[in-house]
Amino acid sequence: MQLPILSILVFFPVLGAVLLAFLDRKNHKLLKQVTLGLSLAEFLFSLPLWFQFDSQTAAMQFVERYNWLPQYGISYYVGIDGFSLLLIMLSTFLTPLCVLATWTDIQHRVKEFMICLLTLMAGMLGVFVALDLFLFYVFWEVMLIPMYLLIGIWGNPARRVYAAIKFFLFTMFGSVLMLVAILVLYFYYGKATGTYTFDLLKLYSLNVPFRMQFWMFLAFGLAFAIKVPMFPFHTWLPDAHTEAPTVGSVILAAVLLKMGTYGFLRFNMPLFPQAAHYFVPLFSILAVIGIVYGALVSMVQKDLKRLVAFSSVSHLGFVMLGLFTFTMPGVQGGIIQMINHGLSTGALFLIVGMIYERRHTRMIADFGGLSTPMPIYAAIFMIVTLSSIGLPGLNGFVGEFLILLGAFKTNMLYAIVAATGVIFAACYMLWMFQRVMFGEVTNEKNKELKDLSCREIAIFVPLLLFIVWIGVYPNTFLSKTKASTENFLALMEKAKTTEVSLSHGDKGEAR
Amino acid sequence: MMDYVWLIPLFPFVGFLINGLVGKNLPKNVVGTIGSVAVGLSFLVTLCIFLQFLKLPPEARPVEKVVYTWIASGSFQAQVAFLIDPLSLIMLLIVSGVSTLIHIYSVSYMHDDPGFYRFFTYLNLFVCAMLILVGANNFLLMFVGWEGVGLCSYLLIGYYYEKQSASDAGKKAFVVNRIGDFGFLLGIFLIFWTFGSVNFREVFALAAKYPVGAGVITAITLFLFIGATGKSAQLPLYTWLPDAMEGPTPVSALIHAATMVTAGVYMVARCSALYSLAPVSLTVVATIGALTAIFAATIGMAQFDIKRVLAYSTVSQLGYMFLACGVGAYVSGIFHLMTHAFFKALLFLGSGSVMHGLSGELDMRKMGNLKKHMPITYWTFLLATLAIAGIFPFAGFFSKDEILFHSLVDGKVIYWGIATAAAFITAFYMFRAVFMTFHGESRVDPHVAQHVHESPPLMTVPLMILAGLSVVGGFVGIPLIEGAHVFRDFLSPSITPVAHHAAAHPTATFEVGMMLLSMGVAGLGIYTAYKFYILVPDLPTIVSEKFHTIYDLIYHKYYVDEIYDTTVVEPIKVGSNFLWTVVDAKGVDGVVNGSAGIIAFLSAHLRKLETGFVQNYAFAILLGVVVITGYLIGR
């Protein structure tokens, strides 16, 4: 009998949060050390997933299943495949680094902060492992609250409440529609087969009529598109990122946004494959618009965090474009790009956070010439910048290349327009880098800035390691998603040929 | 030895790592030695492989060495692997050889610079990327080197990052190159989806089945050529190269003259199997090359910054190389690439030596009569100038003459006319530079004049070696005598000629006549420069005033930078600002905030219903009962 690794991963942080509740709230150091220890333990717990994962099969692995509310067909059903594996590893890998990044940054309500962080972690992992739609929805909502608090309490005092509420409302709006769609699907399945269940894998096999797929795809899609965020649902993101504390931004960018893209891959597309094919043009065009739009708007930002936030819109556009190609390179590139974005944008937010901690400003105009007082910072910043703009040899290139390669096959025009995003990325990132790091130090306050401490360097070393690893030897990661992607594509391909009834009769039945 | 081909880029990479990680704490001569030895070792390995390759029987060539599979997704495979064939060997030899000399020169030239270790770190990384570019056996790995050299170029142009103009120039170089790379990338996509591979040999073998003029091959070659115009500074993407002179002079010599900028020419020659199938693309290549050659040469006439003269000269010479490729004379293009690497690196290093002697002065109006203070620099510079001007028997003569010859025989008269005119201008502006710098009256600032000195041996020895190469480098390609064109015979297995070739077979008399003519043109250019700058020193002022409209136009480089700024850069900035402040803030957020507003408005009014009086609620209930009952009855 195997250890229930997935359940341990989901509930260990919750236990940890309970433990923290009993600690002295004044002893900040202890609180942070304990949380660091907990998150490191969590990372260690997740390692067996990586090493015992069988890359040959597309079947769900590490499956656990218990009845929860059997009378409603609700079960505690978790398991992972190649798609979720990488995202789980990313989450457990980043959390200790995030805790380390709070060391001097978070100084008030430390206890609550750490509890939020751990709860958030439980929620994130829950979303990635859930194979029961009801369970998934629970985790999806659970995760929303700690993030809302992170922004609202520890955010930037001026606008944090606006940002937190905007974040909450946007996400809620999508979630509610998704809930309705989940229920419709549940009842439809019950009517059609006689058994009522939220079991995702069973629901996959359901042949939903196209008319219904159409609306359900939109309902799920809206929730996920807001989360990604896709143009034009992205406006909550710059506010949330800008006002959130550093660690909040890191987790938001690195993991939370991926729930949107993951949602498309896990729920939207396999549940409603015909609709997915139908919507390829719409979503691809929105993705391409996002790529170019995000990049252009990044170019004119004056606030560092806002710039990075808009660049996320552009990068996530690449992911969406890749997923909607339904080609091997496109989808695999999309998944790798999710990880890449987590690493490089996470690192960028840390970089901005560290300079904010020193200078209490994020305005580009307040900086200039930082390379001179902070050479180590400059070197790390440069590498991360290059990763973000997709320099071959670093991680970003592998993802963008595969995505564009896939897109080029499905629609040359999308690929060509999207590829201009690569040019604009160089423009806005290098221009930003130039204004912050190059030139002479004009501002007196910047002359005496301290270079990175050992703790801060320690945060970046693992990130840089993976930035280079994925760039130089991406097959470590591509091979993990190979079987799952093949399976996914086969399913999507089959849907192309399967006839679905267009009759209206089924629709009424579904109610 | 061939199994160790991966050592060639690895040595500089190790040098990069050592200097990058701990170079800050090492003494300067250790840093310099690590950097130079790393590149020197690459050169030695290349030389060994070259000698071994010569011994291989033709059927055992070329050799491919796979290191590992880099990216594999579905049917897509890209390997880290190297192709050893005549073309890549020639390039590897040029790159590692010239790099070694320039590294040695830099040890002395950069000695007083506080960022010494940083300089060698970047320079080693550059060499590594460049060697990957020319050694790769597939398009994607070539692209790694392609972007890698662009990155190093960015870092090195912006090396003096505290200077605004330097960091601007670096960024401009990177962004303009990215525009080119965008084309290159699209080319790779199209190649993969057409041939199912990105490996050179597989692609070229499959391409051979396509008819001449096939649309897809034309598209591929045009996409790739966009990349070449960026990297090799051709019209319309050449504008970054003159600005790139903000970098330290050895960088200009290595990256912006001898190696990186020639990558585009190498790429076209490497893909000769594709280009030869696409007459339209060849015409584009030749036309762009010819236009760039004359266009840049004219600008070169009116510059006073010695490095900028050389920069425009480089753009112009690259144009020649593309012209050669465009008329199907790939070997001549590569030949000129090689001789140009020697004499142009020498010219830049010579100008660096002048700067070194003049405390950093670049303006030729503040030079003059340096001949007696800096004899080695002068003589080596003169030899290089004779070579670039195309005077027999210097290296440039052979290669340039070949290009002129082929542009007439295989191309069109117009190409030949343009190239010949450009040759005249080249001779003129190069000798203008020589006369202004080394001859005539000294116009050196009196403060500086006291310190004028010849450079130390670490700098002059590389100059002398390059001078030697600039003199004899052309002998590998002696025309006329059957079998004496060693260079062509060696390279030919790597090159796929244009199909309809070999029809024209001109007589020896014709060839000799062409040579004399091109010598005559060069001589005329030199004489004109002599007249302008030695015999009648007032003449330049008189001429520039008489034709001041044309002069202004040339002096301001045809205002191309300004045109790009107003037509491309500014509209993008304004447009982006519009997207942000209007579409994002007013449009999307307007809808969101607006709907929030509507809800706030509704709740503000609806709350009035919540009076808290039971009577009111009872009334509402009663009303409801009446309405529902009425509905049920009336139904």
**What confidence tier does A503 reach under pLDDT thresholds 50, 70, 90?**
very low
Average pLDDT over residues B426-439: 90
Could you identify the residue written with the tokens 């060639």?
Answer: B8
Average pLDDT over residues B354-358: 86
Average pLDDT over residues B227-237: 91
Facing A235 at nearest CB: one of B69, B170, B592 = B592
Least confident of A135-149, A292-306, B188-202, B362-376: B362-376
For A254-278, what is each residue's pLDDT tens digit? 999 999 999 999 999 999 999 999 9
Asked if A478 and B71 come within 8 Å (Cβ–Cβ), the reply is: yes
Residues 454-493 of A with CB under 8 A from B: 472-475, 478, 482
Overall size of chain B counted in residues: 635
Facing B72 at nearest CB: one of A405, A434, A478 = A478
- Shortest CA distance from B73: residue in chain A: A329
pLDDT at position B337 is: 92
pLDDT at position B3 is: 85
Distance CA B334, CA A166 (A): 61
Residue A509 has pLDDT above 50, yes or no: no
Overall size of chain A counted in residues: 511
Average pLDDT over residues B358-366: 83
Q: How far is CA B634 from the centre of its chain?
A: 86
SS3 state of residue B81: strand
SS3 state of residue A360: coil
CB contacts < 8 A (A, B): 122
Q: Does B68 touch chain A (CB under 8 A)?
A: yes
Distance CA A274, CA B382 (A): 73
Q: Does A420 touch chain B (CB under 8 A)?
A: yes
Residues 8-37 of B with CB under 8 A from A: 24
DSSP B559-577: GHHHHHIIIIIHHHHHHHH
For B239-273, what is each residue's pLDDT tens digit? 888 888 888 999 988 888 888 999 999 999 999 99
For A61-82, what is each residue's pLDDT tens digit? 999 999 888 888 899 999 999 9
pLDDT at position A395 is: 92
Facing B161 at nearest CB: one of A300, A438, A472 = A438
Residue B132 has pLDDT above 80, yes or no: yes
pLDDT at position A504 is: 43
Q: What angle do CA B493, B494, B498 make, to 5 degrees?
A: 90
pLDDT at position A511 is: 35
Which residues does chain B have within 8 Å of residue A234's beta carbon, measured at their own beta carbons? 588
Could you identify the residue written with the tokens 């064939």?
Answer: B85
Residue B496 has pLDDT above 90, yes or no: no
**What confidence tier does A499 reach under pLDDT thresholds 50, 70, 90?**
low
Residues 195-224 of B with CB under 8 A from A: none
Q: Taking Cα atoms as reference points, which of A276, A318, A300, A306 lies closest to residue A421?
A: A318
**What confidence tier does A46 reach under pLDDT thresholds 50, 70, 90?**
very high
Q: What angle do CA B278, B282, B286 make, to 5 degrees?
A: 175
Facing A423 at nearest CB: one of B178, B577, B579 = B178
- DSSP 8-state assignment for residue A57: -
Q: Does B450 touch chain A (CB under 8 A)?
A: no
Which residues does chain A have within 8 Å of residue B575's beta carbon, measured at their own beta carbons? 296
Which residues does chain B have within 8 Å of residue A472's beta carbon, measured at their own beta carbons? 70
Q: Taking Cα atoms as reference points, which of B130, B93, B108, B113 lies closest to residue B33?
A: B108
Q: Does A156 touch chain B (CB under 8 A)?
A: no
Distance CA A88, CA A47 (A): 10
Q: How many helices (H) and strands (E) does chain B have?
A: 28, 2
State the best of A335, A367, A438 to mutate against chain B, taking most chain B CBs within 10 Å: A438
Q: Does A372 touch chain B (CB under 8 A)?
A: yes
A66 - beta bridge partners? A76
- Shortest CA distance from A405: residue in chain B: B189
Distance CA A307, CA A329 (A): 29
Least confident of A21-25, A97-101, B293-297: A21-25
For A331-385, what is each residue's pLDDT tens digit? 999 999 999 999 999 999 999 999 998 888 888 888 888 888 899 999 999 999 9
**What confidence tier does B502 reach under pLDDT thresholds 50, 70, 90?**
low
Residue A420 has pLDDT above 50, yes or no: yes
The residues, any chain, with a CB within 8 Å of residue A387's CB and separated by 6 or more, are A340, A343, A344, A347, A394, A395, A396, A467, A471
State the best of B10, B165, B189 to mutate against chain A, taking most chain A CBs within 10 Å: B189
Distance from CA of B151 to the nearest CA of A (A): 8
Asked if A430 and B171 come within 8 Å (Cβ–Cβ), the reply is: yes
Q: Does B462 touch chain A (CB under 8 A)?
A: no
Q: Does A371 touch chain B (CB under 8 A)?
A: yes
**What confidence tier does A194 reach under pLDDT thresholds 50, 70, 90?**
confident
Asked if B186 and A392 come within 8 Å (Cβ–Cβ), the reply is: no
Facing B576 at nearest CB: one of A232, A299, A438 = A299
**What confidence tier does A42 reach under pLDDT thresholds 50, 70, 90?**
very high
Asked if A422 and B192 come within 8 Å (Cβ–Cβ), the reply is: no
Please check whether residue B246 is in contact with residue B325, taking contact to mean a CB–CB distance below 8 angstroms: no
Q: Does A404 touch chain B (CB under 8 A)?
A: yes
Q: Does A439 touch chain B (CB under 8 A)?
A: yes
- pTM here is 0.90
Facing A439 at nearest CB: one of B144, B167, B580 = B167
Residue A510 has pLDDT above 50, yes or no: no
Q: Taking Cα atoms as reference points, which of A354, A243, A356, A259 lies closest to residue A309?
A: A243
- DSSP 8-state assignment for residue A102: T
What is the interface pTM, i.e. ipTM, of the complex? 0.89
Average pLDDT over residues B55-62: 84
pLDDT at position B479 is: 67
Facing B575 at nearest CB: one of A296, A375, A416 = A296
Asked if A478 and B158 come within 8 Å (Cβ–Cβ), the reply is: no
Average pLDDT over residues A120-136: 93
Asked if A434 and B175 come within 8 Å (Cβ–Cβ), the reply is: no
Asked if A327 and B74 come within 8 Å (Cβ–Cβ), the reply is: yes
For B73-114, what is each residue's pLDDT tens digit? 888 999 999 999 999 999 999 999 999 999 999 998 888 888
> Most distant CA pair in chain A: distance in Å?
74
Q: Does A69 touch chain B (CB under 8 A)?
A: no
Facing B589 at nearest CB: one of A235, A297, A332 = A235
Distance from CA of B84 to the nearest CA of A (A): 22
Q: What angle do CA B218, B76, A491 make, to 5 degrees?
A: 115
Asked if A423 and B179 come within 8 Å (Cβ–Cβ), the reply is: yes
pLDDT at position B503 is: 52
pLDDT at position A345 is: 94
Residues 216-255 of A with CB under 8 A from B: 232, 234-235
Q: Does A332 touch chain B (CB under 8 A)?
A: yes
- Shortest CA distance from B577: residue in chain A: A300
**What confidence tier does B501 reach under pLDDT thresholds 50, 70, 90?**
low
The residues, any chain, with a CB within 8 Å of residue B26's CB and separated by 6 or more, are B19, B34, B117
Distance CA B426, CA B437 (A): 16
Q: CA end-to-end span of chain A, whole Å?
A: 42
Residue B368 has pLDDT above 50, yes or no: yes
Residue B635 has pLDDT above 80, yes or no: no
Q: Does B75 touch chain A (CB under 8 A)?
A: yes
Angstrom CA distances, B407 to B116, B330, B485, B525, B602, stand at 45, 12, 18, 20, 79
